Amino acid sequence: QVQLVESGGGSVQAGGTLRLSCAASGFMPRVASCMAWFRQAPGKSREGVAGAFPGVGSLFYTASVKGRFTISYDNANYTLYLQMNSLKVEDTATYYCAADPTGCSSWDRAADYPHWGQGTQVTVSS
């Protein structure tokens, strides 16, 4: 059974940093496997923040976080990370880890992912 457990959220001031972790169990990433970080702010739809195809090393970012966030995957302990620097108030949201062991057509389509973590809150204050 696939399980995703997130950690690392919290409250920071604008300009600060946070690192989110998502420990994956129950599957071993294959070439086509995809994993991603999504976020959802109150009253807004869930949006893709960053995605990765661990098997081939491809990384993707939504435009608003490019240059500030870095997604990475540790093959040794099956953990997905999101390093968030220069945080802005508009980054405030619940962040979710998602995985599709069999592959996805588009990294930022939430409907493509069958497995989700429980979410971790990130709050950025001015």
Query: For residue 124, is pLDDT > 90?
Result: yes
b/e burial code for range 75-104 (CB count within 10 A of at least 16 → b): eeebbbbbebeebeeebbbbbbbbbbbeeb
CA dihedral 73, 8, 66, 28 (to 10 degrees): 20
pLDDT for 26: 86
What pLDDT score was predicted for residue 9?
95
5 with 117: CB under 8 angstroms? yes
Convert the pLDDT of each residue in 24-75 to its tens digit. Answer: 988 777 777 899 999 999 999 999 999 998 888 889 999 999 999 999 998 8
Residue 76 confidence (pLDDT) above 90: no
What pLDDT score does 121 carry?
98
Q: Are the CB atoms for 116 and 95 separated by under 8 Å? A: no
